[in-house]
Amino acid sequence: MNMLNKQTINGKAFEYALLAEFLEKLSLVTKTTIIENDPYHTAKRYFEGFAEKDQGLFRSYASSAANFLIDLEPRLAYGIGDNDILTLELVSDTQGQAGDVRDLLAIRVNQNWRIGISAKNNHKAVKHSRLSHVLDFGDKWLGIPCSEQYFANIRPIFQELAILRKQSGATKTWKSLGNYHDSVYVPVLDAFKEELIRLDRENPGIVAMNLVKYLVGQQDFYKVIKSKGHVEIQAYNLYGTLNSAIGKIKPKFKVERLKLPTRVIEVAYQENSKSTILVFLNEGWQISFRIHNASSRIESSLKFDINLISSPHTLFTHKSFVG
């Protein structure tokens, strides 16, 4: 099992464990149903592929997270009548490609209410996006097309990689290029950096906000991160839809609304790095873009691992330790 598959399988198994814990806890206090769609059956199959002991560990982490989320969202446990059914659904990965990072939805149709949860198993990356001479990151991420100058800067690099790949029958390795950090990574990152700064300068108030929306998502959600010995819950309440009361029943903890950024302050290389760019935005947002080759063999594109390095101080975060 390679690392990518292992990470995917663990992640899907954790999604199923979270769904199962919500179902077990909430069906005791409110009418609850699940949608047995393809993502559900896939996650269940991965979960059931683990030994019983490992399944128990997944459930322990998921139980801790579910208990706390029920305290944050009283509508999970409380309906407004016999016909107010809570529906739990796992979401297809294709939704993530469309800007929806949520893996699990809890829905009450009668209340016109839903919340989403992004479940992560031992990783905090927010996106794994690609760059190439035919991919327009400005248009896809920000809604503003990149300039022809940007493509003129990166096109020769990626075209050369495509030629090398074709001539070798897709066998030539990155290592055979020698110092490809200087010959490939740096010029691509330089072009990316210059274009991001230009886009922000020519579209004030838009680029920084749309960048965070692309990375974090177009809907509010809770992120549940399972790590060794603890589970962390973060509340991305950008649009004010999380943490609502139902009647006189209020959440046990208050989740502040986050402010979206409005400008790019600085774009700079991480110290002593030729592969990572740091983007500093106002309102406390800081993002890292680490470029890398996803395969040992040359491809005509490069991959970004994108991480939130810092968020506004108002980001609600809770960590529960699991024995």
**pLDDT digits over 69-116, tens only?**
999 999 999 999 889 999 999 998 765 455 678 999 999 999 999 999
With 70 as the cut, is the pLDDT of residue 213 above it? Answer: yes
How would residue 249 be classed by pLDDT, with cut points 50, 70 and 90? very high
The verdict on residue 323 lying in a domain is: no
Long-range contacts of 282-288 (CB under 8 A, 24+ apart): 282/208, 283/259, 283/312, 284/310, 284/311, 284/312, 284/313, 285/208, 285/212, 285/261, 285/310, 285/311, 285/312, 286/310, 287/211, 287/215
In a domain, 119, yes or no: yes
Indicate whether 157 pLDDT > 60. Answer: yes
Residues 159, 36 within the same domain: no
Instruction: Establish if 83 belongs to a structural domain.
Output: yes
Q: Is the residue at 18 inside a domain? A: yes
Give the count of domains, the chain: 2
272 part of a folded domain: yes
Which pLDDT value is given to residue 17? 97
Answer yes or no: do 151 and 18 share one domain.
no
Domain that holds residue 119: 3-123
DSSP state of 70: H
- pTM equals 0.86
User: 14 has which bridge partners?
Assistant: none
On the question of pLDDT at 3 being above 80, the answer is: no
Give the pLDDT of residue 98: 53
Residues 109 and 12 in one domain: yes
CA separation for the pair 114, 105 (Å, rounded): 7
| Residue 295, domain member (yes or no) | yes
Q: Are residues 29 and 105 in the same domain?
A: yes
Last residue of a domain, one of 123, 138, 173: 123
The residue among 90, 123, 156 that closes a domain is: 123
Share the mean pLDDT of the chain: 92
For residue 223, being part of any structural domain is answered with no
Q: Considering the domain boundaries, does residue 113 fall inside one?
A: yes
**Residue bearing the bigger pLDDT, 172 or 218:** 172
50 & 181 share domain: no
Q: Tell which of 123, 151, 170 closes a domain.
A: 123
CA distances from 138 to 33, 79, 193, 208, 286 (A): 41, 43, 12, 12, 18
Q: Which long-range contacts (CB under 8 A, 24 or more apart) does 290-294 make?
A: 291/131, 291/185, 291/188, 291/189, 293/174, 293/180
Same domain, 204 and 277: yes
> Quick one: 54 and 90 in the same domain?
yes
- Separation between Cα atoms, residue 234 and residue 227, nearest integer Å: 14
| Residues 282 and 142 occupy one common structural domain | yes
Cβ count within 10 A of residue 246: 18
Amino acid found at 132: S
Considering the domain architecture, whether residues 193 and 79 belong to the same structural domain is answered as no
